[in-house]
Amino acid sequence: MGNVFVLDHPLIQHKLTYIRDKNTGTKEFRELVDEVSMLMAFEITRNLPLQEATTETPVTEATTQVLAGKKIGLIPILRAGLGMVDGMLNLLPAAKVGHVGLYRDPETLTPHEYYIKLPSDISERELIVLDPMLATGGSANDAIHSLKKRGAGNIRLMCLVAAPEGVEVIKQDHPDVDIYLGAMDDKLDEKGYIVPGLGDAGDRLFGTK
């Protein structure tokens, strides 16, 4: 079964509070999502492998450590996942970015894929799927299926806020996928919104409501 990690770093939790606030406007919302994504990237990269190197300091030769060059792929789920890409790239500048376009039908809550474009070598990369919201889990579930169908083997999922229902879906369908969250919320409402949540992440990021 995949692991679920709630990243409880105080800076992440503090910024998440302002992301949730209904009085936070689009510009500030976008900046906060960017910042929290960077902080989450810091936590999610904690176990990246290192290798030994030798470095000449001004004083002497030192045995040092450098990243072992693991290839990373960031996979934002459009639209809202786009808000998490730059923050991640700040810390992982060599990562490649693939896009999965999905929208959730507001009546049926079923996800519909409308776009996919991935790096050609996804099977060699450690992929991090990005979406601020994990609600019913349908969208992330479909995105992960799509990636696996195209050869991806190593996938993690990173979301700002999740409902228990969505986490359960991913755990059942993709027990190999670890999930990294800013917060695990209480439930879904009758329209499939996360409670207490933060509203519609895409609309708040792009000012479309």
Ligand X SMILES: O=P(O)(O)OC[C@H]1O[C@H](OP(=O)(O)OP(=O)(O)O)[C@H](O)[C@@H]1O
Ligand Y SMILES: O=c1cc[nH]c(=O)[nH]1
Q: Is 197 in the site for ligand Y (CB under 6 A)?
A: yes
Q: Is 173 labeled as catalytic in the residue annotation?
A: no
Active site residue 200: yes
**HSE (side-chain half, CA atoms, 13 Å) at 163:** 21
Q: Which of 196, 141, 202 is closest to 166 using CA atoms?
A: 141
87 binding Mg ion? (CB under 5 A): no
Q: According to the annotation, is 178 in a ligand binding site?
A: no
Residue 135 found at the interface with ligand Y (CB under 6 A): yes
Please identify, among the stretches 58-66, 82-90, 114-122, 195-203, the one whose residues bind ligand Y according to the rule CB under 6 A: 195-203
Task: Report, in Å, the least distance between residue 161 CB and ligand X.
Answer: 10
Cβ of residue 17: shortest distance to ligand Y, in angstroms? 16
Whole-angstrom distance, CA of residue 81 vs CA of residue 105: 17
Q: Would residue 203 show up in a list of annotated catalytic residues for this protein?
A: yes
Q: Give the residue at shortest CB distance from Mg ion.
A: 202
- Residue 183 interacts with ligand Y (CB under 6 A): yes or no: no
10 labeled binding residue = no
- Residues from 44 through 83 that contact ligand Y (CB under 6 A): 80
Q: Say if strands 187-188 and 194-195 run parallel, antiparallel, or are unpaired.
A: antiparallel
**Residue of 20, 30, 104, 156 with catalytic role:** 104
Interface residues toward Mg ion, by CB under 5 A: 200, 202
Q: Which residues are annotated as a binding site for 5-phospho-alpha-D-ribose 1-diphosphate?
A: 79, 104, 131-139, 200
Residues catalogued as catalytic: 104, 108, 200, 203
Name the site residues for ligand Y (rule: CB under 6 A). 80, 133, 135, 192-194, 197, 200-202
